[in-house]
Amino acid sequence: MPEREEELSSGDALKQDLFLWLQTMSIALVVLILLFTFVGRVVGVDGSSMEPTLQNGDLLLLQSIAYTPKQGDIVVLTKPFGQVDGAIVKRVIAVGGQQVDIDYDAGTVSVDGVVLDEPYIKEAMVEPPASSFETITSVLVPEGSVFVMGDNRNRSDDSRDTRLGVVDEQYILGRAVAVLLPVGRFGLLERPVYS
């Protein structure tokens, strides 16, 4: 009889361990769902407009809650325009109250009269053909809006295109804080410091 009691108690112990494991996994799943719903999100990069900083297919972790856009941040937008559908990943060049000037001849972008040092861009910027779209070369960004550009300037639909222009902050899903996948590109995304 003592052997039978021992069998039952080990069977009960196994059931108890399984129940505890399921309970822990359920709580962890609920916490993850709440975190990704209210605090952060995961978004995939679609296209080459942010190369070399981000690659097509990269999976990004976004900071969504309590976020105020800052110059240099990489953000994900939801504002539809032209042929673009879905989330758009761009870099904030200027925020509300800042003056943006683009000099295609020199290949430079200035904010408040200071040329930005942009080591992250893929190649020198050239002016798009006039038939492509009407471009913005100078703008004072309204409060509550941002001016965004891709790091791959010659392959980016961004705020230079009048169809998008400056973007109201309500369209920002969040700031990209890290590349999650692929594993070989895993890491934090740093905001550049402009002088």
**Of these residues, 9, 10, 26, 90, which one is catalytic?**
90
The span from the CA of 121 to the CA of 50, in Å, is: 8
**Of these residues, 15, 26, 49, 122, which one is catalytic?**
49
Tokens coding 113: 């009269």
Q: Which of 180, 177, 191 is nearest to 64 (CA)?
A: 177
Q: Which residue has the tokens 């799943």?
A: 29
The span from the CA of 85 to the CA of 137, in Å, is: 25
The span from the CA of 158 to the CA of 41, in Å, is: 22
Q: Is 155 left (phi over 0), alpha (psi -120 to 50) or beta?
A: alpha
Q: Is 49 a catalytic residue?
A: yes
- Within the chain, residue ranges assigned H as helices are 2-34
The span from the CA of 41 to the CA of 176, in Å, is: 9
Asked if 137 and 161 touch (Cβ cutoff 8 Å), the reply is no
The catalytic residue positions are: 49, 90
